[in-house]
Amino acid sequence: MVAGTRSIQTLTPELQPKVHWDFSAVASLTRNLADCYLFFYFLCVDSVPAVEKDARIILLNLHDEASRRKLFGELGEENEEDAKTVAARAAVHGDLVSKFGANAYLSSLPEKRQKELIRGEKTPFVQDDVIERIGMDRKHFRFLYRFFRNHTHTGPVAFYRMSTHGRGHGFENPRDVFNMSLALDFACDMMRRASGDILNLFPNAETRGTCIEGAAARVRPTSSGRKRRATKS
């Protein structure tokens, strides 16, 4: 999230002549930032019982397994795999399905929902549910998310009326200035929320700074048990 926000900041032009304007690029990164925050909240922040936390990790792994299978299947690699690789993939999937069935939260879901989640083809959470749990305005979020998505996937909203609005040519124009401000405000809201969440999880994070002090580095043991040398800052 921090890296994505820095990229948004880098692509945001200064209000001065002869700078490059590309709102669609900023919109794409802002939408990605929103996706990152929803996943972060779903997996790390949301206060739910331990059995449901375990369930969410199982769902994440099922989604990952299905995504990779579909991705490499586009290259035809699944048909070229040897028997050992096929067996290993089946074992991974079987293990996840077993964990799914053993989880009390997942096994209590309606059968239709269970089958859908086991396939792992969709994001392991319903976006509106997470938005509601976060406490965000759902209509506001959905409008901006869909608006940014049109620029991410180059939908007609992104390129219709370009000449009328004077946008799409890389130069400053009133419409892109307004849209950029929407994106920046939306991104700032995500990061304010994420920063607060991090401080709730790690109360001393704000006072530690961005690097480990030399004294702390000298006494921190490595995996071998030896002390690390202090590094120059």
Nearest Cα to 31, choosing from 149, 180, 195? 149
pLDDT for the residue 69: 86
Relative orientation angle of helices 83-102 and 50-73, to the nearest 10 degrees: 150
Q: What is the mean pLDDT of residues 50-71?
A: 94
pLDDT tens for each residue of 10-42: 999 987 888 999 999 999 999 999 999 999 999
Lowest mean per-residue pLDDT among 28-32, 78-82, 170-174: 78-82
Residues sharing a CB contact under 8 Å with residue 102, sequence separation 6 or more, in sequence order: none
Q: How confident is the model at residue 177 (pLDDT cuts 50, 70, 90)?
A: very high
| Torsion sign over Cα 4, 190, 125, 58 | positive
